[in-house]
Amino acid sequence: MAVTETTVADSCAAAKRAARGIATASTEAKNAALEATARLLEERAEAILEANAGDLADERAAGLTDALRDRLCLTPERVAAMAEGVRVVAALDDPVGEELERKTLASGLDLRKVRVPLGVVAVVYEARPNVTIDCAALTIKSGNAIVLRGSHYADRSNGALAAVVREALAEAGLPQDAVVPLGGGGHEELAELATQEGLVDLLIPRGGEGLKNAIKAVATVPVMYAAAGNCHVYIHSDADPEMARRIAYNAKVQRPGVCNAAETLLIDAAIAERVAPAILGDLADAGVELVGDERARAAAGEVEVGAATDADWDSEYLGLKLAVAVVDSVEDAIEHVNRHGTGHSEAIVTADAEAADEFVAGVDAAAVYVNASTRFTDGFEYGMGAEIGNSTQKLHARGPIGMRELTTFKYVARGDGQVRE
């Protein structure tokens, strides 16, 4: 990302000043900035891809895993998808000013609870340049300013994308500093960003447990963690075998380097010998490394399954590796998920409505699926246009973080001279 000559504190102060302007901007002005962003993404696609190619060729990206390189890589299709996502956000209702409640008090005061922007949102993220656009679009539409701190190995890509949004803001007559990029600096810069009290209203780190722990150690501003996804698919005894096969494959293979990909497959003991060879065979043929407990290995037939370690049940692989366990009941599946999961996305495949309801009620996660892949936990899929991340917390937001999750509220009371006795 293009590095400015200002300090982290100066960048956050600039965003704070811009937040005052964008908080009161009209829906029309915000939508104009978003439409301009989408248009410029299409017009500058060649330059954006050239910047991305520079990042991929840089020595700083040399040690990335295949999954991280995939997340870093931009293609014409991905740039086009970014532009489409921005247009979807523009078409959504503006959350700012939405009336949540209204009543007349005994004093005669007219009391309204209305939705307002948070102010300045800072996002720390790894690898994926599209996050730059998703975050900027959501904060612009929700009337917030944003400070973006991406990975050092994505500096060129993020810089090109942030420049597009800043130009679009200026074109729409809105403050450019509603989107402020920071370079992908070291831990000192991260600590400085996490301690900008009075300037940063919310910090959202997108990344693994290492990033989460680094923020926890120093943060003095409010933090909402878009944290790791150790997600499970449970094949119940009453599952349709072909449906189970399709869902398990999609949840793991469709895009393995993302937080809503499955990392563990649970199979009910009653059907393990019947369904495991086909399901695990599909996964192995796709290049997935399989590890499992003794019962899973025994049920796998001729499919090679290595021995799982204790650490495997708690791992977010973000790649083509999957842990497999055989469980005896819905209760055992729930217990396994709640012990090892990260509260992100969990799925059950079953034709038994009671078993589905028990799983939904018992699993502690932001998103629970019945007969569907975990890959749907996504702001775009949920009709939010995009997302800043997926929160595994319970306050103040859970699941995909969209526009409404980037707002708070205020009470507005109107009277005609009342005073309290």
Domain ranges of the chain: 8-226+388-414, 231-376
Say what the pTM is. Answer: 0.87
Q: In whole angstroms, what separates CA 295 from the centre of its chain?
A: 34
Asked whether 303 and 277 are in contact (CB, 8 A), the reply is yes
pLDDT of residue 3: 44
DSSP 8-state symbol, 256: T
Tokens of 142: 């929700």
Strand order in the sheet with 145-149: 179-182, 145-149, 120-124, 202-205
Give how far Cα 369 sits from Cα of 135, 348, 420, Å: 26, 6, 51
Low-confidence ranges of the chain (pLDDT < 70): 1-5, 184-185, 227
With respect to CATH, is domain 8-226+388-414 assigned 3.40.605.10? Answer: yes
pLDDT value at position 231?
98
Is residue 312 helix, strand or coil? Answer: helix
Tens digit of pLDDT for each residue in 215-257? Answer: 999 999 999 988 689 999 999 999 999 999 999 999 999 999 8
Q: Which of 387, 375, 366, 397 lies closest to 128, judged by CA?
A: 387
Token pair, residue 130, equals 């599209």
In CATH, what class is 231-376?
A: alpha beta
Q: Which of 254, 333, 267 is nearest to 303 (CA)?
A: 267
| 295-to-91, 135, 272, 305 alpha-carbon distances in Å | 51, 44, 9, 11
Reported as a single tens digit per residue, the pLDDT across 350-396 is: 999 999 999 999 999 999 999 999 999 998 899 888 888 889 888 88
157: DSSP letter: H
Q: What is the pLDDT of residue 323?
A: 98
Q: Is the dihedral of CA 143, 394, 147, 79 positive or negative?
A: negative
User: In what helix (H) or strand (E) does residue 136 lie, and over which residues does it extend?
Assistant: helix 130-141
**165: amino acid identity, one letter:** V
